[in-house]
Amino acid sequence: MKTIKVLAVLTLFITLNSCTKDDDVQPQFQIETNTVTNLHAPQIGGIDQMGNPQPISGEFTKFDFSSGSITTSATEWDIAFRATSIIINGGVSFESTDEPERSGNAAAYMATGTMDMVNAVNTSLLEQDSVNGYVLSDWYTYAGPPTHLISPTAGKILVIRTRDGKYAKVEILSYYKDAPENPDAFADEERYYTFNFVYQPNEGETSFNN
């Protein structure tokens, strides 16, 4: 573990150096493109088998863009998932049970386009979670009967300012375990997110182009 850190710092140092030397621009980190598979986002409650609504609760599964992985940290997270709900680490609570405290300054908006089309952040659209609801709520389509599938709506990109002022964009690909080719709402396990994301690690940089 230590070795890796040292290596990382070294690489960083070399990159920084070479950049300054070559063309006199600001230090640059490489933009990261990644896929996250099977991020499990369970929930307690909801509609029971008799069709009656039960109180919803349960821990949100928190995600940190800088490490590209889920985290249990109380503060070092950017977005968090519970069933179809996605919250950001910024703004105020929608007052649902077990929401983690928002300590960061994250903000977000839903963009329309493909991953490639969303090549820069329009900061004027950024909003934070509020008592009116979550910013990132309109990402899926519920098919209703007969399939009852929950599918990430094609052309919906989640654009996020992280808790510490960096930017990321996310395309959710599946809500079912192992992102099946032909999901079956009755057979496949739900609440497993698969998504692509692009992280711009340079603070304040709104472009997703290298």
Partner 1 sequence: MHLKSLVISFFIFSSLSNAQVRLKDTVVEQKLDEVILTATRTYRQLSSLPLPAQIVKQEEIMAMNSMRLTDILNEQPGLVTVSEFVGGAGIQMQGLDAQYTLILIDGVPLIGRSAGTLDISRISVGNIKQIEIVKGASSSLYGNKALGGVINIITNKPKTDFHGKLFYRYGTFNTHDTSLNASFKNDNFSWSLFLNRNSSDGYQFPNAANLNTVDPYSNYTLNSKLGFDLTSKTTIFVSGRYYIQDQIYAPTLEEKGEINISEWNAHLKVEHHFNTKLSGDLELYATRYKADEYLNSIENDSLFSKSDYNELLLRPELKGIYKPSDKSTVIAGVGLTHESLDRTDFSTKPIFNSPYIFAQYDGKPKKNLNLILGVRFDSHNEYASQWSPKAAIRFKLNDHLALKGSVGYGFKAPDFRQLYFDYTNGFVGYTILGYNTVVTRIPELEAQGQISNIVVPISEYEDRLNPENSVAYNFGITFDPISTLQFELNLFKNNIHDLIDTRLIANKTNGQNVYSYYNVKDVYTEGLEFNSSWKPSNTLKFSLGYQLLFAKDKAAEDAFAKGEVFARLSPNSPAFQLDEDDYFGLYNRSRHMINLKVFYNYEPWKLKSNIRVNYRSKYGLFDTNSNDYLDRYDEFIEGYMIWNWAVNKRINKHYDMGIGIDNIFDFKDPPSSSNDFLFIGNIPGRIIYAKFNIQL
**Dihedral-angle region of residue 133 (phi above 0 means left; psi in -120 to 50 means alpha; beta otherwise):** left
Question: How far apart, in whole angstroms, are the C-alpha atoms of residue 177 and residue 168?
Answer: 24
As given in the structure block, the two tokens for residue 176 are 């079912």
Using alpha carbons, list the distances in angstroms from residue 130 to 63, 102, 159: 20, 11, 17
Question: Would you say 77 or 87 has its CB closer to partner 1?
Answer: 87
For residues 42 and 83, is the Cβ–Cβ distance under 8 A? yes
- Our CB check for partner 1 shows the closer of 137 and 206 to be 137
Buried b (16+ CB within 10 A) or exposed e, 95-107: eeeebbebebebb
CB of 13 to partner 1, least distance (A): 35
Applying CB under 8 A, the residues found at the interface with partner 1 are 46-47, 51-53, 56, 112-115, 117, 132-133, 140-141, 143, 145-147, 149, 151-155, 171, 173-174, 179-184, 186-187, 194, 196
- Whole-number Å distance between alpha carbons of 170 and 179: 16
In the complex with partner 1, the residue whose CB is nearer, 49 or 124, is 49
**In the bound complex, what is the minimum distance in angstroms from residue 117's beta carbon to partner 1?**
7
Distance in Å, CB of 112 to partner 1, minimum: 6
Q: Which CB, 6 or 117, lies closer to partner 1? A: 117
In the complex, the smallest distance separating the C-beta of residue 7 from partner 1, rounded to whole angstroms, is 32
Cis peptide bond prior to 146, omega within 30° of 0? yes
> What's the min distance (Å) between Cβ of 36 and partner 1?
13
Maximum alpha-carbon separation in the chain: 68
Between 104 and 183, CB nearer to partner 1: 183
